[in-house]
Structure 1
Amino acid sequence: MEKLTGRLSEQGITVRDGWLVGETTFTNYLRMGSDSPATYSLDGVMSSELNAELIYRGSNIDASPGLHVPVLAQPDLHDDVVRHCYRIEAMDPPTAIAQARQLWGRLLSGVDTPTDDDAANLIANLKFISVRDRLLADIPGLEESMRDLLLGQTKQAPHWQRVDRASDVLLQLYMRTDSADAAPVLTSLGVIQWWEGHGSKAHECFQRALEADPDYRLAQLTDHLVREGVLAEWATNRQAAYQPPHTRGPEIGGIGLA
């Protein structure tokens, strides 16, 4: 213990406090050298005022942070996706992007489950890189550069209600894809999780995407950011960071008012 604090001190790092956490108790690290260091119950932390404040602010940690996908009977739309892919390939890129944005905007502004044809159409559009990137950049609902939107680094906060709706729609799409069509949808879900600061969920999305397509480049690149501990700037800004819906005030211009 003394060796560790000494080595850290040599590097200019002063250990002011610390805890060794077990399954049911924790112990103050700086008192480990005493004859009988006190241990404290983790249950006491869970019922503390500090923990209640963290939960209120949306900072509680789930027991299982994985991505939960509902198991529902949904039709496989692969044949319809292929049909839409041929149609999109026959268009010039600006027209294809414009039509995809119109569909995406309609789905994001609605509340209903996408029809089978809309779902197949959107899954097909996400398979085209230029269309996919434009649709991802449209999710936050801000007039900013695509680069800043995709990297989550605009000064203005995203419209998080719109982002939540995008997640819902993408989950609906994922439940209707086969493995060949899943990578773009899962990667898009992962990007949203990364924007929100949910690294574990983002990593799981990217890993599932790479299981579907090991060479899917956006999943590879963004998962690398997650594994390196890189956060979207939105997640590091208290005014812009994602908050669960039950903790938000009404949105005005993308800013939640408490």
Structure 2
Amino acid sequence: MTTPSETLRIADAAGILAAVPHQLRFHPSESIVVVLATDDRWLATARVDLPPLDASSLTVFDFADAVAEKVCEVPTMTRVFIAAYSDRKDAGPLVAEVKRAFDDRDCRVVDMWLVTDDAWFTLSCFHDECDEGYCEFAAAKSLEQLELHEAHLHSIVRGSSPSHEPVLPSPRVVWQRKDAIRRHAAQFAQQGVFDFERAEVLLLWLEYQELPLMTSLVRLQERPEVVGRLLASLLDIEVRDALMASFLVTAGTVQHFASQMPRAIKNDCAYLDAMATTSALGNGIPVWDRLDRCAELAQELMSAADGRELTILFSILSWVEWMRGRGSSALACAEKARAMDPEYSLAQLMVDVVMHGYQPRWVTDPELAWRS
């Protein structure tokens, strides 16, 4: 579930459908998309895969109820718009069933649409001849209408360029002294991280997170031993988990947070593997600017990483995307990590988290959620 970075006004059907790919950052396919709104303001966008055609264990009723239940957790939502993106023959009935699930929860569905590879259709029924819960006689409308809509063109001008599927993060920086980085990383990996070093290593990560990305990269280019140490430290599960939990600690307590290692945090780091959705340190809200800077740094470190280090970076970025509410991107990162190293438990954990529909509590609160 993604939240707009700016105030979006609900205008017309074509405008909503034109804006959806820009909100998701990719063109949805084989999906149900729900736009959450209050009055005329766009609150959030939720996307879920259509159930497989042979999903014998999942009924259409169960699927629709699961979608509505998740979306209705947003307290400020007053109405929704539903769109199916598919050429499947059962797409219309699926939309109608999702509408039924929202109706059962007293949530107003304003409009429903179907978007295929060739056209788009309004499924809302405005006459008495529809017996299936959706309009079976809807006229096809040109996709060009969406491509030429102001909502799409405005987003393009602002630099938005949706892909055809979730895009994996990739580095842009070239590490000039990569051989030295790999040599230092191998040395630190062989030594391991001693208990008394964990606080120091975490503070080293936090030091570079607090700097603007370009400043960090310029300094790290001249310090291959630091880059090697940062990468090798991720092999230590307690450092990895503490780094991921640090996003949930306010700036005023981050130094105290690091000072608790290794004693207080050491026994709590397993919270990730226990599938908790908030930090073992408390029910915090992510510090979004720190999380964003860490994600940027992790992405750029990929071109210096090797082997399991790269698997860990993809897993951490999956965790970041999950906390942001971008389940599709989180799953893409997690599946990439799992493909690289099927034995790495965090990668498998993140796949399970996303596939089972778990989401952090702040995702359903537009005032707390990350803004794209």
TM-score (normalizing by structure 2): 0.53
Which residue of structure 1 lines up, in the alignment, with residue 120 of structure 2?
26
Q: Is the 8 A contact 1:187 1:219 kept in 2?
A: yes
Which residue of structure 2 lines up, in the alignment, with residue 196 of structure 1?
324
**Residue among 77, 83, 95 paired with 2:187:** 83
Which residue of structure 2 lines up, in the alignment, with residue 184 of structure 1?
312
The answer to whether the aligner puts 1:125 opposite 2:224 as a matched pair is no
Equivalent pairs counted in the alignment come to: 232
**Residue among 158, 167, 173 paired with 2:295:** 167
Cα distance in 2 for residues equivalent to 1:121 and 1:80: 7
Deviation at 1:80? 1.7
**Residue among 233, 237, 245 paired with 2:361:** 233
- The 1:155–1:137 alpha-carbon spacing in structure 2 relative to 1, beyond 3 Å, is closer
SS at match of 1:18: strand
Deviation at 1:151? 2.5
Provide Cα deviations, 1:123-168, integer angstroms capped at 9, x if missing partner. 11111111110111113443599759x7247765422121111011
Provide Cα deviations, 1:153-202, integer angstroms capped at 9, x if missing partner. 77654221211110111112211012242122221111111111122221
Cα distance in 2 for residues equivalent to 1:234 and 1:214: 30
**Residue among 222, 229, 242 paired with 1:134:** 242
Deviation at 1:40? 2.4
The answer to whether the aligner puts 1:62 opposite 2:170 as a matched pair is no
- The 1:160–1:117 alpha-carbon spacing in structure 2 relative to 1, beyond 3 Å, is same
Cα distance in 2 for residues equivalent to 1:23 and 1:212: 33
More displaced stretch, 154-163 vs 124-133: 154-163
Cα distance in 2 for residues equivalent to 1:13 and 1:172: 43
Letter in 2 for 1:80: H
Q: Is the 8 A contact 1:187 1:205 kept in 2?
A: yes
Letter in 1 for 2:225: D
Q: CA RMSD in A?
A: 3.6
SS at match of 1:139: helix
Percent same amino acid among aligned pairs? 23
Which residue of structure 2 lines up, in the alignment, with residue 212 of structure 1?
340
Cα distance in 2 for residues equivalent to 1:13 and 1:167: 36
Gaps of 5+ in 1: 245-258
Higher helix share: 1
Deviation at 1:212? 2.5
Deviation at 1:243? 1.2
Letter in 2 for 1:118: V
Letter in 1 for 2:192: I
SS at match of 2:310: helix
- The 1:233–1:48 alpha-carbon spacing in structure 2 relative to 1, beyond 3 Å, is farther
- The 1:21–1:129 alpha-carbon spacing in structure 2 relative to 1, beyond 3 Å, is same
Letter in 2 for 1:19: W
SS at match of 1:79: helix
Q: Is the 8 A contact 2:324 2:363 kept in 1?
A: yes
Q: Is the 8 A contact 1:84 1:124 kept in 2?
A: yes
Letter in 2 for 1:124: A
Q: Is the 8 A contact 1:81 1:124 kept in 2?
A: yes
Q: Is the 8 A contact 1:96 1:131 kept in 2?
A: no
Deviation at 1:97? 1.6
Deviation at 1:49? 6.9
Q: Is the 8 A contact 2:278 2:284 kept in 1?
A: no
Q: Is the 8 A contact 1:66 1:200 kept in 2?
A: no
Deviation at 1:218? 1.0
Deviation at 1:104? 1.0
Q: Is the 8 A contact 2:119 2:142 kept in 1?
A: yes
Higher strand share: 2
Deviation at 1:48? 5.2
Deviation at 1:72? 4.8
SS at match of 2:294: helix
Deviation at 1:25? 2.2
TM-score (normalizing by structure 1): 0.74
Q: Is the 8 A contact 2:121 2:139 kept in 1?
A: yes
